[in-house]
Chain A
């Protein structure tokens, strides 16, 4: 039997590879939609500004998409590599779901990405626009299937257990499980929002530097406009998701509220949990707010604590608590900024408010941070189950030696840290270089800074 150390290392490896992978779709799903809209507008209006925007963002999109694809390839095989027993048990259900993702979404993206990235000048503009929209369809389908599979693990329904395997008895229920209907809109909004912050943050940088102004104004305006609409919706949907999770996975809710006992009605800002003793060593809270959030305006109702769950079934409070805080507080900051954007817009100062622009630059990674926090909450809050209530993570692991597991963990951490650094450097360089400048009204765009570098 695999030792607990192998389980622990495999969990870390999966967590790291999953969060790394997720950061790329978090940007590229929204970016692909943005690129498609920009290109379509360009095709319809022939305004070169939109072509400039398209070509600039295409550079960032191309590398991000490539990294997302290879990191996703790793994920596909990791289910079997480290989690062989799990793969055998859930293959008849999740293998099929992921298989549908690959055939409907992955191939669609892969087929048209070449045209989107290298088709300029080879295909007609309309074909380019079509390829862009196909990428959007692909990324959205991909999100759908993945969320369906992941939600099934959170709240498994529609199956029968035969010989240690899960066989689907009702595919409709398996694919469109109850958790999916809450989590899918939540994550869909999240990826669009995080792309908007990324786009808006970089546009704001150009406004701070007073470079490429029409480009920066146009993109900032689009990003903030979309955010103004989506942020309130997202907070609402997120609240509904949390309520659903509280009802279906009480241990997760107990863990991310940061309480052990059930005698507290406050909202915890900071806790240092001691998992062995089952108490918090440090505990900073706002009194009564927890109850208010739990829809009791008198502030008396107590927030449930983790001691209600048997010791063996408790998730790690550290990751769930701080993952949730990372998501929630970033979301509040994002909401406030989006709101401020609307106010500034009403007063006609959106393009001159310097401090706002500086803040926006800092907000560029906000969406990715929130999504990572959300995933950490969702996935570690489900522990110690890999399929909630059915398979424990410790029973899901492959027959591996400790050495092999450690070696692969080191390999992934090393390569991913390197790539993350290079990706950030690439973004910084691309942004510094700036969008390509148009020469007169016609003809190909010439990249000024590229010439300077040469």
Chain B
């Protein structure tokens, strides 16, 4: 029973990932087809606040799989090695592109292109992985035993295209929710063709699954058939709502409906396949980790999940509503800045001029300075030696107490001098700016 709960956790994380990173991958792909630099920058900023949290769900799915069903993890990952590595590389480039692009003042064409292309590559690779897993991987004793290109089947290619369409659909729905103007209008127009594509892909892939893996669909159990039928019906209802919602108010409706479609689709897939995780015969039971590990995982993750969901929703709530440029980025007044610039530079130059010649009080003749520096160096070496507990025999009085005394002395020196610096105005930003 516990292994089903672990499996459910994996599926929950995967579903959340499919929806959340799905929309941001979709927007990434859509940014390739938008000509306006301003809008492409906007797409990037839309993602920048959330991609990290969205990607976390994939990591949770992966790790829950590792902890709960290590047999599946050790079979699937080496089995889909190349597409998965390419996907990870795409993620790496994508993260860098989003952050560097977001940190830059304007739109950077190169990073924009990297962002779009890596989103496309990542989506296709995910589809290949999903297709490969659904059509089965050879394994023995919880470890993959097949060849390098076992993942490359006609079915997995179809899956890649289908998943890209699903991501695009979620992306369009999210755009309608978050933007105004041209992007909003386009999202509304794109929605219905994409929905049709996804529906067609769903039918083709469902029929293809019975070809890719013949022993799969055994709808002889009533429970399985009922669940499958209900899930498909729910997906169709949600699809109809999405169809109606695209291009109409309220703007959140298409995304909510797409979320429903994806959840129902995933449920239908599971209803048709469980308890097999990787066909033809790797089941939840065979792949599960021991009772204690699963219990630990489920209590730990289950206990944290409400909190995680709470602050994820809060973070989402902070950035609710239509996307707007942050105030600090748009509010630039060159006139004011220019007046600050020159005066500050002259202040700096004045400082440079007198800094090297100023001598601290207490600098004596050269010999005295040399002697003092040598002594200080020796003191430092001695202190290093003491802190290393080199003199093992005397460690009783040096040990942690000695180290603490040493550190606390340094702290006291620091605080005292820091206060003095502060009262001398060395940290005064306002004075320096004037």
Contact = CB atoms under 8 A, between A and B. Distances in A.
A412 B396 CA distance: 49
A49 B392 contact: no
A451 B334 contact: yes
Central interface residue in A98, A108, A111, by most chain B CB within 10 Å: A111
Interface string B156-196: 00000000000000000000000000000000000000000
A249 interface: no
A139 to B, nearest CB: 13
A343 B297 CA distance: 51
Given A77-B88, A228-B413, A426-B100, A123 B56 contact: no
Interface of B is mostly: helix
B67 A91 contact: yes
A225 B410 CA distance: 8
A450 B332 CA distance: 10
Given A236-B403, A450-B332, A84 B390 contact: no
B59 interface: yes
Nearest to A206: B348
Interface string A280-319: 0000000000001101110000000000000000000000
Interface string B389-411: 11111000000100100111011
Nearest to A81: B77
A121 B319 CA distance: 11
Interface residues of A, number: 130
Given A210-B351, A411-B89, A92 B293 contact: yes
Given A114-B53, A118-B326, A168 B292 contact: yes
A341 B314 CA distance: 44
B360 to A, nearest CB: 5
Contact of A88 (B70, B86, B358, B376): B70
A403 B376 CA distance: 58
B240 to A, nearest CB: 33
Given A95-B289, A400-B148, A426-B103, A408 B82 contact: yes
Interface of B: 48-50, 52-53, 55-56, 58-60, 62-64, 66-68, 70-71, 73-78, 81-82, 84-86, 88-89, 91-96, 98-100, 102-103, 105-106, 141-148, 289-290, 292-293, 296-297, 300-301, 304-305, 308, 311-312, 314-315, 318-319, 326-328, 331-334, 336-337, 340-341, 344, 348-349, 351-352, 355-356, 358, 360, 362, 376, 380, 383-384, 387-393, 400, 403, 406-408, 410-411, 413-415, 417-418, 420-421, 426-433
Interface of A: 47-49, 52, 59, 62-63, 65-67, 69-71, 73-74, 76-77, 79-82, 84-85, 87-88, 91-96, 98-104, 106-115, 117-123, 134, 162, 164-165, 167-168, 171, 210-211, 213-215, 217-218, 221, 224-225, 228-230, 232-233, 235-236, 239, 292-293, 295-297, 332, 335-336, 339-340, 342-343, 345-352, 354, 398-401, 403-404, 407-408, 411-412, 415-416, 419, 422, 426, 430, 437-439, 441, 444-448, 450-451, 453-454
Cβ-closest 3 pairs across A and B? A91-B70, A295-B392, A95-B67
23 contacts: A62-B103, A73-B91, A84-B75, A91-B66, A102-B59, A108-B308, A111-B308, A122-B319, A123-B318, A167-B290, A167-B292, A214-B429, A215-B429, A230-B407, A239-B389, A340-B380, A349-B360, A407-B85, A411-B86, A412-B85, A416-B92, A437-B433, A438-B433
